[in-house]
Amino acid sequence: MQGKIKQRNIPWLGALIESLYSSMPMLSIINFLSIITVLYATIKDYLFVWVPWLTFGWFISIMIVLTLVMMLLVYKFLIPSLWVFRGKQLYGFESDLMTEVRAQKTEIKRLAEVIDNLGKFEGH
Protein backbone atom coordinates (compact mmCIF):
# COMPACT_ATOMS: atom_id res chain seq x y z
CA MET A 1 0.00 0.00 0.00
CA GLN A 2 2.97 2.28 0.55
CA GLY A 3 3.40 4.58 -2.42
CA LYS A 4 -0.11 4.13 -3.76
CA ILE A 5 -1.54 6.98 -1.70
CA LYS A 6 1.00 9.78 -1.39
CA GLN A 7 1.05 11.60 1.92
CA ARG A 8 1.76 15.31 2.16
CA ASN A 9 3.78 17.18 4.76
CA ILE A 10 2.00 20.31 6.04
CA PRO A 11 4.03 21.41 9.12
CA TRP A 12 1.60 24.02 10.51
CA LEU A 13 -1.28 21.52 10.30
CA GLY A 14 0.72 18.96 12.27
CA ALA A 15 1.57 21.56 14.93
CA LEU A 16 -2.08 22.62 15.21
CA ILE A 17 -3.38 19.05 15.54
CA GLU A 18 -0.64 18.10 18.02
CA SER A 19 -1.42 21.14 20.21
CA LEU A 20 -5.14 20.49 19.99
CA TYR A 21 -4.79 16.83 20.93
CA SER A 22 -2.36 17.66 23.73
CA SER A 23 -4.88 20.05 25.33
CA MET A 24 -7.87 17.71 24.94
CA PRO A 25 -7.29 15.56 28.05
CA MET A 26 -7.59 18.60 30.31
CA LEU A 27 -10.80 19.71 28.62
CA SER A 28 -12.11 16.14 28.49
CA ILE A 29 -11.95 15.74 32.27
CA ILE A 30 -14.34 18.68 32.72
CA ASN A 31 -16.55 17.41 29.91
CA PHE A 32 -16.57 13.86 31.32
CA LEU A 33 -17.56 15.01 34.81
CA SER A 34 -20.34 17.18 33.38
CA ILE A 35 -21.70 14.37 31.23
CA ILE A 36 -21.76 11.76 34.00
CA THR A 37 -23.39 14.22 36.39
CA VAL A 38 -26.15 14.92 33.88
CA LEU A 39 -26.39 11.19 33.08
CA TYR A 40 -26.85 10.33 36.74
CA ALA A 41 -29.46 13.06 37.24
CA THR A 42 -31.34 11.87 34.16
CA ILE A 43 -31.41 8.14 34.90
CA LYS A 44 -31.37 8.00 38.73
CA ASP A 45 -35.12 7.41 38.98
CA TYR A 46 -34.82 4.40 36.68
CA LEU A 47 -31.67 3.15 38.42
CA PHE A 48 -33.25 3.28 41.89
CA VAL A 49 -35.83 0.72 40.79
CA TRP A 50 -33.06 -1.84 40.08
CA VAL A 51 -30.22 -0.64 42.31
CA PRO A 52 -31.58 1.53 45.14
CA TRP A 53 -28.15 1.67 46.80
CA LEU A 54 -26.58 3.46 43.80
CA THR A 55 -26.02 6.92 45.21
CA PHE A 56 -24.14 9.62 43.31
CA GLY A 57 -20.94 8.69 45.20
CA TRP A 58 -21.21 5.05 44.14
CA PHE A 59 -22.00 6.09 40.59
CA ILE A 60 -18.88 8.31 40.45
CA SER A 61 -16.81 5.49 41.99
CA ILE A 62 -17.98 3.05 39.31
CA MET A 63 -17.19 5.59 36.59
CA ILE A 64 -13.70 6.08 38.05
CA VAL A 65 -13.07 2.33 38.09
CA LEU A 66 -14.27 2.03 34.47
CA THR A 67 -12.01 4.94 33.51
CA LEU A 68 -9.02 3.28 35.20
CA VAL A 69 -9.72 0.02 33.36
CA MET A 70 -9.84 1.92 30.06
CA MET A 71 -6.58 3.69 30.93
CA LEU A 72 -4.95 0.33 31.63
CA LEU A 73 -6.14 -1.06 28.28
CA VAL A 74 -4.85 2.02 26.46
CA TYR A 75 -1.48 1.76 28.22
CA LYS A 76 -1.17 -1.98 27.60
CA PHE A 77 -2.33 -2.19 23.98
CA LEU A 78 -2.99 1.13 22.26
CA ILE A 79 0.15 3.10 23.13
CA PRO A 80 2.61 0.41 21.92
CA SER A 81 0.63 0.03 18.71
CA LEU A 82 0.63 3.80 18.12
CA TRP A 83 4.40 4.00 18.62
CA VAL A 84 5.00 1.17 16.16
CA PHE A 85 2.84 2.99 13.61
CA ARG A 86 4.54 6.34 14.28
CA GLY A 87 7.95 4.70 13.97
CA LYS A 88 7.02 3.32 10.56
CA GLN A 89 5.75 6.72 9.50
CA LEU A 90 8.92 8.43 10.72
CA TYR A 91 11.21 5.93 9.04
CA GLY A 92 9.29 5.80 5.76
CA PHE A 93 9.56 9.46 4.83
CA GLU A 94 12.43 11.84 4.25
CA SER A 95 12.16 13.61 7.57
CA ASP A 96 15.07 15.72 8.81
CA LEU A 97 15.57 13.29 11.68
CA MET A 98 15.81 10.25 9.44
CA THR A 99 18.12 12.08 7.02
CA GLU A 100 20.46 12.78 9.94
CA VAL A 101 20.20 9.19 11.23
CA ARG A 102 21.04 7.80 7.79
CA ALA A 103 24.04 10.16 7.52
CA GLN A 104 25.26 9.04 10.95
CA LYS A 105 24.85 5.37 10.01
CA THR A 106 26.94 5.95 6.89
CA GLU A 107 29.62 7.70 8.96
CA ILE A 108 29.63 4.87 11.52
CA LYS A 109 30.11 2.31 8.75
CA ARG A 110 32.97 4.37 7.30
CA LEU A 111 34.65 4.66 10.70
CA ALA A 112 34.22 0.92 11.30
CA GLU A 113 36.01 0.24 8.01
CA VAL A 114 38.82 2.61 9.02
CA ILE A 115 39.17 0.81 12.36
CA ASP A 116 39.20 -2.58 10.60
CA ASN A 117 41.89 -1.34 8.20
CA LEU A 118 43.98 -0.03 11.12
CA GLY A 119 43.72 -3.42 12.79
CA LYS A 120 44.89 -5.16 9.63
CA PHE A 121 47.77 -2.71 9.28
CA GLU A 122 48.91 -3.25 12.87
CA GLY A 123 48.64 -7.01 12.47
CA HIS A 124 51.19 -7.16 9.57
Of the two residues 63 and 95, the one the predictor is more confident about is 63
Furthest-apart CA atoms within the chain: distance in Å: 93
pLDDT of residue 16: 92
pLDDT digits (tens, 9 = 90+) for 29-41: 889 889 999 999 9
pLDDT at res. 56: 92
- What is d(CA 106, CA 124) in angstroms, rounded to the nearest whole number? 28
pLDDT range class, residue 124, cuts 50, 70, 90? low
Higher pLDDT, 37 or 95: 37
Say which range, 9-13, 42-46, 96-100, 120-124, has the weakest mean pLDDT: 120-124
Q: Label residue 79 by pLDDT band (50, 70, 90).
A: very high
Alpha-carbon span 14 to 54, nearest angstrom: 44
pLDDT of res. 95: 74
**Residues 27, 15: Cα–Cα separation, whole Å:** 19
